[in-house]
Amino acid sequence: MLLGKLAQSIGAAVEGDDSIEITGIAPLATANKTQIAFIARKAFIDQLSTTSAAAVILTREVADSSQYVGNKLISDNPYLAYAKATRFFDPFPSKTEAFIHPSATVAPNATIGERVYIGANTVIEDHVVVGDETQIGSGCFIGQGTTLGKNCLLHSNVSVYHDVDIGDRVILHSFAVIGADGFGFAPSSEGWVKIHQLGGVSIGDDVEIGSATAVDRGALGDTVLEDGVKLDNHVHIAHNVSIGKNTAFAAMSGVAGSTKIGANCTVAGMVGFAGHLTIVDNVHFTGKTMVSSDVLEPGVYSSGVPLQPANVWRKNAIRLGKLDEYVRVLNRLAKKLND
């Protein structure tokens, strides 16, 4: 597309030739004369002098302080502008015509909207509702009584169990499992007795769920993901968890049952939440944090041990085991000094 049209679409102002044709996006270091690039961190300013990009998305401050003389796309938030631009160059083929592959199995009483695409070997069970312009890839399973909204995209081999409610514009990546049983068992003298999971899953609009991520159904009531939630690959959301609007999880994080997480939170990789907790809005957890109690104040929270040389870590690990002893000694000394 033409640079001027692209700039208008992403909310940027052009300085330079707005009539050049843009064919893609690339990093500053490798972009060619028909691709745009962006700079969101000052650490990469030096690359402006050597880039071959057709144009660069950058702030007014960077544009004025650098020696870059090429075409510019001025934006207050270059990273956001770049994000908006990516959709124009996504090679993933969008299916806009109605199609049901001959090998797909669709229940006669399922309701299929207009311009819906259903791929090979997909199974859609009784009383499923699929909204207009939704794409369902090959090898998917949609269980009885589930509802998919409009403009959803299910990549191949997604499994959605029965009685799941999914909103509009939801993206589910391959091997995501929505609505599997939560981990519920009662101990008895004869072993574990299964607690049948009688709830469902409710997913809002504009949610994206990564590959091999599991969202379990509720034991009683639903597991809830509100509008705009983003889950990376290999995330586990247990039964009856509730996640607020626009909260995002990085890979390999997990939430135990019945924990309530607020809106606009961010969860870095490998964060673990205990069950039955309350997390307020606007809380941010750094990588490998173990959340074992309620968080009732917004802010940034961390736990875990940062990287150290192995010999230093071993010494500190031994000292940590003696921490209680050290504290008792210090308390006794403090008491003697106060006396």
CA angle 229, 232, 238 (to 5 degrees): 70
Separation of alpha carbons 71 and 140, rounded Å: 45
Q: Could you tell me which residues come within 8 angstroms of residue 243 by beta carbon, excluding any fewer than 6 positions away? A: 224, 225, 226, 229, 237, 255, 261
Structure-block tokens of residue 335:
């008491």
Active-site position among 155, 173, 234, 239: 239
Report how far residue 63's alpha carbon sits from residue 57's, in angstroms, rounded to the nearest whole number. Answer: 9
126, 143 Cβ separation under 8 angstroms? no
**Residues 54, 11: Cα–Cα separation, whole Å:** 18
Instruction: Judge whether 168 and 205 are in contact, CB under 8 Å.
Output: yes
- C-alpha–C-alpha distance, residues 140 and 269, integer Å: 28
- Could you confirm whether 101 is annotated as catalytic? no
Angle at 171 between CA 166 and CA 173, to 5 degrees: 115
How many CA atoms are closer than 13 Å to the CA of 138, on its beta-carbon side?
Answer: 5
Contacts of 157 (CB under 8 A, 6+ apart): 137, 138, 139, 140, 174, 175
Let me know if 33 is exposed, middle or buried by CB neighbors in 10 A (0-12, 13-18, 19+): exposed
CA–CA distance from 106 to each of 87, 109, 121, 125, 171 (Å)?
Answer: 31, 8, 10, 6, 21
Q: Are strands 230-231 and 177-180 parallel, antiparallel or unpaired?
A: unpaired
Positions annotated as catalytic residues are 239
